[in-house]
Amino acid sequence: MKNQMMNVQAPLPIGEWKIGDENYFISFALTKKPNPLRRFFAWLFFGLRWIDFPQPKKVEEIKPSMGIKAGVTKVIQKGRHRR
């Protein structure tokens, strides 16, 4: 059972939230696109911009900010008994 869980691949990100300018920014990628109302209010209240990727990207292909050297990837299993 545990061997099967290790082979599960995370879905690829389809877009990202971004705040900041071209070189210095904070961003995080998501596998599901938020609805237009949430995108509007995130922009209005927090200044976040939603950017669609032309096609799903691997995490290694997403460009980090100039101020950051490495990113952290964390996959959270869905379900009641995740550990």
Look at the pTM and tell me if it is higher than 0.75.
no
Domain count, the chain: 1
Continuous segment of H or E residues that includes residue 44: helix 36-46
In a domain, 68, yes or no: no
pLDDT of residue 62: 78
- The CB density around residue 13, as the number of other CB atoms within 10 Å, is 18
Q: Is residue 67, in this structure, part of any structural domain at all?
A: no
The range of the structural domain enclosing residue 12 comes to: 2-61
Tokens of 78: 């869905």
- 14 inside domain: yes
Here the tokens at position 66 are 């100039």
Residue type, 25: F
What is the predicted pLDDT for the residue at 28?
A: 86
**pLDDT tens sequence for the chain (83 residues):** 555 556 677 788 899 999 888 778 888 889 999 999 999 999 999 999 999 999 988 877 877 777 655 556 667 777 766 55
Could you tell me if residue 69 is inside a domain? no
